[in-house]
Amino acid sequence: MAEAGLIAGFDAGQTHTTCRLAASRSGAAAPEPLAEGVGPGVSHLAAEGGAERFQAALRLSLAETRARLGAPWATAPLQAAAVGASGIEQGSAVQQRAMALAAGALGLEPTRLVVSGDERTALRGAFPQDAGIVVISGTGTIAVGRDGRGREHRCAGWGWLLDGAGSAMDIGRDGLALSLQMADGRLAEGPLRAALWNALNLENGDPEAAQRIKALVVEPGFAPAGFARLAPVVERLAAAGDRAANTILERNAAALATSVRGVAQALGLTAPPVAAMGGALTHLAVLRRQVEQALAQQLPGARLQAPHGDACAGALALAAERLCPTLS
């Protein structure tokens, strides 16, 4: 083992990046966290400013976390890190570029660094050694699993423009789309329109409100996070019995269950444990309940359970392995 220092695990999503630091001597199995901090989110590296946002997210979240450390750890060297980031495809050129950017941002050699999609760190955190499936619903969505032989398979998560069903972004966007149909008379008026427009600081009686929404959603930086911020509004209405809101959640819950079923079939898992992760499944109780119901229909043997650890825990375990490769 190298001299005492720090290892870092990063969970870099589209809305924010969490950094967790642990002592490098903690070992690969379950590094004990010392501090945690939050920085800005990331975007796809190919997007305008994507590389800069990625490096800033790592630097700023690391700095915030270091500021929470007491002596002697505040000045301890960073010896290894693992980053799970939204939009990093396994084995892709994007992953290689992200490795180079992370090495520069963190001052680490590539041999002391792991960069992967956040679904991979989430899977490692949820099931450190065992077979299982993780379904993630946050701003985006993806499902990934591992069988008893270490084979992995993913479903969904092919970018918010193409494949966001089950995500907070799709829930918010679907709700806003229905509100516009209510506004122009295609659908009967319901509480969904007023609630969503109020959330966007629009007056329900404003005759230009629909046009303002049309302009708002194409502003730089609005999507996908701007849509995702509306998902809790849809969920509150569904919990209160609004039929339109409930239908939106049912449709997205079914999409999440379908992704889990696809992973299970690809890996030959007939009764897999399933860990539900991500902000939407953590905080939207109605959505989570509907996912459980959809799973019972689509994959009866599956059982929803709490993850062993989160994506940062998985990232820390991967970072520790950079110092102890024989334990990987």
Q: Where are the alpha helices (DSSP H) in the chain?
A: 50-66, 93-106, 118-126, 168-183, 191-199, 209-216, 225-228, 231-239, 243-267, 279-283, 285-298, 311-323
pLDDT of res. 40: 94
> In CATH, what is the architecture of 168-305?
2-Layer Sandwich (3.30)
Distance CA 66, CA 167 (A): 32
pLDDT of res. 325: 57
Pairing of strands 132-137, 141-146: antiparallel
Burial of 48 (0-12, 13-18, 19+ CB in 10 A): exposed
1 pLDDT above the threshold of 50: no
Per residue in 162-179, pLDDT tens?
A: 999 999 999 999 999 999
Q: pTM here?
A: 0.86
pLDDT of res. 182: 96
Question: Mean pLDDT over residues 178-204, rounded?
Answer: 95
The domains of the chain are located at 6-128+309-327, 168-305
Per residue in 177-187, pLDDT tens?
A: 999 999 999 99
3-class SS at 9?
strand
Domains 6-128+309-327 and 168-305 share a fold: yes
Tokens (6 digits) for 106: 């963190």
Burial of 241 (0-12, 13-18, 19+ CB in 10 A): exposed
Per residue in 237-259, pLDDT tens?
A: 999 999 999 999 999 999 999 99
CATH class belonging to 6-128+309-327: alpha beta
